[in-house]
Structure 1
């Protein structure tokens, strides 16, 4: 229930922030045309403002963008985000859904695969690093973790591209081979080609995220292993593996799972530069271009989608925490 007012407040903030830069889309279009040597005039700017309703008050444009106007007219042209309409892209002069195309699907696939890779790698690695504290393996994993946290993802991508070109003569950019990059629709061969190219963005995006979560898991588990109930269970003869997995690991997962809520939108927004470096058809570069061009409706709709993913991710992490640790309740403060 809290998601509804939360998203309403977020929509107001997003619609306001994307319009904070001086000027508007009409001024940006005229300035760009003049830089390209094309004649432009104030009449063109006025026509653009009229066509995209930039001359209307902000509250009216917000109501139309959100779809509140539709509830008074029920006209198809007044649909907005509430009706599933992402709006019109002013830069491309066509619906935002057509501009995005398969970018949203590919972004979800890459991000979901990255989250899965992060969990499958960070969870056992963090457990091993905590159980084998100060061992050679722990030092190696700690060093790798520091590298993952300190090295920017786009720089890691550039290094991998250089090594692949230098040693193997391969171009590993993109999510598809050239014959499938421009193919409309989906076939089995195109899906297999996507899987073959998916490992690089997953590795690049998941390397930094895994490094941070390894450190979190290691620190949480070390705190649990030092508590009296672990010592008592060992003294009673509980098998080490059963003790480790049933109690300390389960409790150490709480902060680990709570970070899931912000992981997915972080991968989408934070991976924009990586997507540009690797030529990935994802929503990150589209969002950056829309913000630069002051394409208010496209940028605002994409930011709302990211915000919705964050809120839904937080809800999922809360439900996972309730399942993992029954002591956590909304009324947990009551005695």
Structure 2
């Protein structure tokens, strides 16, 4: 088991390098950079002439290395991250990338982590219930709910929920805190206010994942329950609960365990879209602004963060699968 973990961990290193290189390359593909829009701002708002604005933009490019070739920019960026822990400077927010990310990452991981736990736990339980009560009224209800969950986009569900609670029910939604707690120091009252606002984004982001896990668990469990070894176990007189939870669920749950690693980054991207609609202080609005304004170091750091979470999530999922199925660790 230890050798399997070491082997999978070593394979993650070149994968992360390739992902970071591709992400950084894609960010440099659009024509111009942040200094192009900065030059336009100097001309239109600061009243500088075109030559003066161009000179200041070129000085900024030279200062932050944006005038260097692509590979040199990438090397310097990665070197600063590995050696100094410096992710670069955010031109749009006028602060270091680390300050922009760390101020928002906690809320992002909190929402995504809660969604991940709920979607897996609730999805598996509903899937088991639907499979063991096939063609019942509850099974039809959860099946329709699952189809809605995988069909409705997160941004549309967020807009609908905002409309429903704000205009129809008169309840305030949006943000993670009430006005009096936005800049307040942490206290029990602020934590309770966060919990009061947290349920809406968690419900919106986790709805699709719960629906998907429910459908996967239901279909897999129905397939497993029809296998011969399950029929043999029942014929030997084992209790139905023992057959289902000790033998059938253990094999039916494997596809969900395999997908757990890749699900968390998708939840984070779903959280990004939802946070833009609900105006949440998470990484979503910052990443969107970085892409729109070609703030390459900030956007590249966000993509690196998602890649790292994806690789670590897949590693943990592989370890969990090897623990569930010992045959995996020998392949």
User: Same fold by TM-score, threshold 0.5 exceeded?
Assistant: yes
Cα distance between partner residues in 2 of 1:220 and 1:158: 34
Matched ranges for 1:195-214 at <5 A: 195-214=195-214
Partners of 1:292 and 1:166 in 2: CA distance: 31
Distance 1:81 1:31 in 2: 34
CA shift, 1:101, in A, is 4.2
Please give the TM-score of this superposition, normalised by the length of structure 2: 0.91
Name the count of aligned residue pairs: 319
How far, CA to CA, are the matches of 2:291 and 2:65 in structure 1? Answer: 18
User: Contact between 1:322 and 1:328, CA under 8 Å: does it hold in 2?
Assistant: yes
Which stretch of structure 1 is more off in the superposition, 97-106 or 279-288? Answer: 97-106
* CA distance in structure 2 between the partners assigned to 1:207 and 1:300 by the alignment: 28
Q: Of Structure 1 and Structure 2, which has the larger fraction of its residues in helix?
A: 2
The TM-score with structure 1 as length reference comes to 0.90
Q: Whose RCO is larger (CA < 8 A, sep 6+)?
A: 2
**Residue 92 of structure 2 corresponds to residue 91 of structure 1:** yes
Residue 253 of structure 2 aligns to a residue whose secondary structure is helix
Q: Distance in 1 between matches of 2:63 and 2:217?
A: 53
1:46 and 2:58 are equivalent in the alignment: yes
Q: Which residue of 2 aligns with 1:12?
A: 21
1:276 match: 276
Question: Deviations along 1:247-269, whole A, 9 cap, x unmatched?
Answer: 11011111011111111111112
In 2, Cα distance between equivalents of 1:14 and 1:311: 15
8 Å contact from structure 1 (residues 104, 282) kept in 2: yes
In the alignment, the residues of structure 1 paired with residue 253 and residue 223 of structure 2 have an alpha-carbon distance, to the nearest angstrom, of 12
How far 1:35 moved relative to its partner?
6.1
1:28 aligns with 2:37: yes
* In 2: Cα distance, 1:9 partner to 1:308 partner: 12
Where do residues 130-279 of structure 1 align in structure 2 (5 Å cutoff)?
130-183=131-184, 186-279=186-279
Gaps of 5+ in 2: 1-9
Q: What CA distance in whole angstroms lies between the structure 2 residues aligned with 1:291 and 1:112?
A: 25
Distance 2:75 2:199 in 1: 42
Deviation at 1:100, TM superposition (A): 2.8
**Contact map agreement 2:154 2:270 (CA 8 A) in 1:** no
Unaligned regions of 5+ residues in structure 1, if any?
Answer: 68-78
Contact 1:52 1:90 in 2 (8 A): no
CA distance in 2 between counterparts of 1:325 and 1:18 reads: 40
Map Cα deviations across residues 70-96 of structure 1 (whole Å, 9 max, x no partner). xxxxxxxxx324543222112223211
